[in-house]
Amino acid sequence: MVMGLARHWRKVACALAGGELIRRVPLGEASARVPVHRDGSVLHAFREPWMNTLLPRLLDGAERPGVIDVGANIGQFLVALRACRPDARYVGFEPNARNYGYLQRLIALNGWPGVDAFPIALSDTFGVANLGVRKDSFDVFASLAHDVHDAGFFRRTQSVLMTTGDSMVDALGMERVRLLKVDVEGAELEVLRGFGKTLADHAPYVVFEMLPAAPDAGEDDRRVARARDLMALLGGMGYRFRPITDAGLADPCQTVDPRTIARPEDANLLAIPAGRDLP
């Protein structure tokens, strides 16, 4: 599959503008201009499958839906969103400086309307925090949740500004938040606590990641404890859960135990608000 994708992207037309290599990639009925990574790859070709299949369903029937992307990385989710709903109002948050620089370049190259991104971290409090960074290139492992990773997992830290999701929703005047996507490598609990008012007022769908825990982990394991508190937070607001798998959505459930997640690829969950089902 990977080789097939590689062959496909080698066929995509390239253009060199101002010393920067840009590729045009398919984007629904249109295309997007994507900066090429220094190793020649187009990382947006490898976005998670659910972004192509589940995302259109979650936004179906919504008029100019508001979409919030916490842990925007380099824009994989944004590209998928533009492919299916170019009319959506997108707000992304990416505190990793290198990732954010690439994300801003992607947005500027395409001139997408209704798209904003901010180089700040979201949590349940305000201040300055230490973002753990594992890779010097585009990093998908950066996190504020140092306690759920092994000692030495992060190579360095980066000071980042931190605020709450509710404060940003209010500041931006977002009126219709349809979908909240959270992928912050273990800090999902604090992020969702910081969206308490938004969850209550807008009842968005929530797609979030739950880091797997060892099958023999105890109840006091940090990943197990965080998952338990996260389930209680959303469950207490009437949300139901459906694991996202390669085959689609699993059956609804009231809770998910991270000790049952066998692969990182199976760590994404959909939370469905009370009184709503999938379109």
Residue ranges per structural domain of the chain: 1-43, 47-272
What is the model's pLDDT at position 133? 81
What is the model's pLDDT at position 26? 83
Q: Does residue 154 carry a pLDDT above 90? A: no
Residue 270: φ, ψ to 5°? -105, 125
What is the model's pLDDT at position 19? 57
Residue 215 to residue 84: CA distance in whole angstroms: 38
Closest by CA position to 267, among listed 249, 250, 243, 233: 243
The pLDDT mean for the chain works out to 86
Q: Give the pair of three-digit tokens for residue 151.
A: 């000692």
Q: What architecture does CATH give domain 47-272?
A: 3-Layer(aba) Sandwich (3.40)
pTM: 0.87
Percent of the chain with pLDDT over 70: 85
Q: Does residue 41 carry a pLDDT above 60? A: no
Q: Does residue 177 carry a pLDDT above 70? A: yes
Closest by CA position to 5, among listed 53, 47, 52: 47
Residue 199: φ, ψ to 5°? -60, -40
Exposed/middle/buried for 18, CB within 10 Å: 0-12, 13-18, 19+? Answer: exposed
Task: Report the pLDDT averaged over residues 187-201.
Answer: 96
Task: Report the pLDDT averaged over residues 15-42.
Answer: 71
